[in-house]
């Protein structure tokens, strides 16, 4: 397995924290992994060790999440994408005209699509998971879930965080994984809901941005809370469609070996078993 190092880079709102497993001997393009909200690059820590055996693999915390500095006010999906391009450059992932592969999970999937739309010539392969065009009811449900909860001595915000995690988790998800995810939610502070709200605002733009890409976009559909809307949105994607209903929320931490293997297969266009194409 590759060694994962941690770095701090200059970003548009302060510093950006990133994890990277460098593989200088690989002829494969580097890959940048984009986390869901309100989590951090911590959800990819184990997978980076595995992916880094075949190529340079990195994951950065979005502004306001993990250990990255937060903007002074809410920002847009386009802003998150621009910040990740700055992180990619700071990590040296675009040297010598090298293209960058992208993977995004949940909200990170739409940021990945926006990154590719902003700089299509700099992107090689694009793989996303739990990427769905949401209907008005789903948008409203998520928006209500991230209505800002002020701090109080009763810990109302933190009780809700734990309830959200345990309600959406599969029975087999370990308490250790839930505890790590909870810690990342708490770490995001007052900006904890900004990412999800930005991506809800981006939802209507998403199909056009996706359609305008020159890349084939592969879609992984795990059995999490977006399984049905992701399946319903699969016709929007031009690449492989892979269903893994046995993977639930937190699969990148619970099954990092399976996730890393599938991602590398998709990026390298290896033969894979797919649900539909």
Q: Over the stretch 85-104, which tens digit does the pLDDT of each residue have?
A: 999 999 999 988 889 999 99
The CA distances from residue 233 to 131, 199, 228, in Å, are 8, 16, 9
| pLDDT value, residue 276 | 43
Residue (of 41, 40, 23, 46) closest to 92 by Cα position: 23
| CB-CB neighbours of 248 under 10 Å | 20
Tell whether the model's pLDDT for residue 272 goes beyond 60.
no
The CA distances from residue 145 to 39, 90, 220, in Å, are 15, 34, 24
Please give the torsion angle defined by the CA atoms of residues 66, 71, 72 and 76, in that order, rounded to the nearest 10 degrees.
-120
Report the C-alpha gap between 184 and 29 in whole angstroms. 29
Q: Which residues contact 190 (CB under 8 A, 6 or more apart)?
A: 70, 148
**How large is the average pLDDT for residues 18-40?**
96
Q: Over the stretch 193-229, which tens digit does the pLDDT of each residue have?
A: 999 999 999 999 999 999 999 999 999 999 999 999 9
**What is the overall mean pLDDT for the chain?**
94
Tell whether the model's pLDDT for residue 173 goes beyond 50.
yes
Local confidence band at 259 (pLDDT 50, 70, 90 cut-offs) = very high
Tell whether the model's pLDDT for residue 122 goes beyond 60.
yes
Q: Beta partners for 10?
A: 15
Q: Over the stretch 229-249, which tens digit does the pLDDT of each residue have?
A: 999 999 999 999 999 999 988
Report the C-alpha gap between 29 and 43 in whole angstroms. 22
Q: Which residues contact 47 (CB under 8 A, 6 or more apart)?
A: 33, 57, 252, 256, 259, 260, 263
Tell whether the model's pLDDT for residue 54 goes beyond 50.
yes
The CA distances from residue 158 to 146, 184, 185, 197, in Å, are 13, 12, 9, 19
Local confidence band at 277 (pLDDT 50, 70, 90 cut-offs) = very low
Residue-wise over 47-70: b if at least 16 C-beta within 10 A, else e? Answer: bbbbbbebbbbbbbbbbbbbbbbb
Local confidence band at 62 (pLDDT 50, 70, 90 cut-offs) = very high
Q: Which residues contact 260 (CB under 8 A, 6 or more apart)?
A: 47, 50, 51
When computed from its CA atoms, the radius of gyration of the chain, rounded to whole angstroms, is 17
Q: How many CA atoms lie within 13 A of 206 on its CB side?
A: 23
| pLDDT value, residue 270 | 66
Q: Is 150 exposed, middle or buried (0-12, 13-18, 19+ CB in 10 A)?
A: exposed
pTM of the predicted model, to two decimals? 0.95
Q: How many CA atoms lie within 13 A of 255 on its CB side?
A: 15
Which residue's entry shows tokens 């994951």? 59
Report the C-alpha gap between 246 and 262 in whole angstroms. 14
Residue (of 21, 9, 233, 19) closest to 109 by Cα position: 233
| pLDDT value, residue 35 | 98
| pLDDT value, residue 273 | 52
Strand 100-105 versus strand 123-129 pairing type: parallel
């Amino acid at each position: 397995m590759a060694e994962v190092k941690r770095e701090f880079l200059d970003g548009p709102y302060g510093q950006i924290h990133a994890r990277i497993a460098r593989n200088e001997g690989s002829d494969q393009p580097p890959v940048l992994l984009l986390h869901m909200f309100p989590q951090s690059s911590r959800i990819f820590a184990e997978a980076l060790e595995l992916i880094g055996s075949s190529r340079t693999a990195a994951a950065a915390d979005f502004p306001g999440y993990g250990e990255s500095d937060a903007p002074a006010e809410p920002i847009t999906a386009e802003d998150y994408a621009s910040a990740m391009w700055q992180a990619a450059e700071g990590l040296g992932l675009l040297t010598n005209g090298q293209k960058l592969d992208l993977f995004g999970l949940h909200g990170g999937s739409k940021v990945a699509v926006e990154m590719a739309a902003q700089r299509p010539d700099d992107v090689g392969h694009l793989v996303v998971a739990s990427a769905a065009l949401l209907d008005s009811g789903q948008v409203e449900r998520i928006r209500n879930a991230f209505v800002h909860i002020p701090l109080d001595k009763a810990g109302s915000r933190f009780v809700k965080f734990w309830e959200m995690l345990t309600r959406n988790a599969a029975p087999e998800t370990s308490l250790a994984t839930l505890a790590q995810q909870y810690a990342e939610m708490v770490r995001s502070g007052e900006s904890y809901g900004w990412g999800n709200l930005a991506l809800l605002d981006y939802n209507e733009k998403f199909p056009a941005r996706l359609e305008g890409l020159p890349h084939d976009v592969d879609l992984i559909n795990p059995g999490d809370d977006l399984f049905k809307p992701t399946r319903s949105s699969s016709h929007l994607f031009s690449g492989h469609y892979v269903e893994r209903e046995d993977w639930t929320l937190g699969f990148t931490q619970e099954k990092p070996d399976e996730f890393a293997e599938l991602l590398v297969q998709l990026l390298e266009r290896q033969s894979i078993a797919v649900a539909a194409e």
